[in-house]
Amino acid sequence: MPAERAADMTIDFAEQRRKMVDGQLRTTDVTSPAILDAMGEVPREAFVPQAVRALAYIDEDVPVQPAGGEGPRFLMEPSPHAKLLQLADIRSDDVVLDIGCATGYSTAVLTLIAGSVIALESDPHLAAIASETLVDRGYDSAAVVEGPLNLGYASEAPYDVIVLNGAVDEVPAALFDQLKDGGRLVGVLGTGNTGRATVWTKNAGGVAARHAFNAAVRPLPGFERQAAFEF
């Protein structure tokens, strides 16, 4: 038996999951019973590479793919992830677009909170992992699709909620166009210590933004602000 798999057998992931909920979520103002229950149920270790499985529940972003064409990818740290979902005020019949699903962990959590989930991933390797893992684990109300993250997935729009799984410099108008009236989009605007978790709400065709809390999370590829041309 490989040493990494043998090490996994000595780790009580269920206990780590309970400690994550109690020590990382409840202590940072995550109060939604649906989110606490979902993140207490979904096996985060199933959505990270074998080599870092022991780190699945640390209070940091967990790498799921090394630097490549679009750069390294991560599962977001549990606390800001949970707080973003809480900010979105997701209801049990909502249709959600999960942008940048990576290996599918965020999507699995959303399937236990929302009605149905479209998981968008730009990296074919990650999309394949997400699709396989979600099917194997029985998260049947989700569908994984491939495409540029900053374009969203218009063919299944409009959505009640759009979730951005990483920090962005700006939100393209195309994503707001894919929200229903009354729909919400959540994400972290800005990188590093300047990042602010934000909810955008669409009403009567207009979009209003509200900054909720500071959050330093890894950037989501494809949302970099384009440099302005200077004469």
Q: How far apart are CA 166 and CA 187, in angstroms?
A: 7
Give residue 34's region: left, alpha or beta (phi > 0; psi -120 to 50): alpha
Tens-digit pLDDT profile for residues 132-165: 999 999 999 999 999 999 999 999 999 999 999 9
Helix (H) or strand (E) holding 140: none
SS3 219: strand
Tens-digit pLDDT profile for residues 4-27: 554 556 899 999 999 999 999 999
At position 62, the amino acid (one-letter code) is V
- Tens digit of each residue's pLDDT, the chain (231 residues): 454 554 556 899 999 999 999 999 999 999 999 999 999 999 999 999 999 999 999 999 999 986 566 678 999 999 999 999 999 999 999 999 999 999 999 999 999 999 999 999 999 999 999 999 999 999 999 999 999 999 999 999 999 999 999 999 999 999 999 999 999 999 999 988 889 999 999 998 799 999 999 999 999 998 987 655 554
What is the model's pTM? 0.92
Pairing of β 73-75 and β 95-99:
unpaired
Sequential DSSP letters for 55-103: GTTSSS-EEEE-S-SS--EEEPPHHHHHHHHHHTT--TT-EEEEET-TT
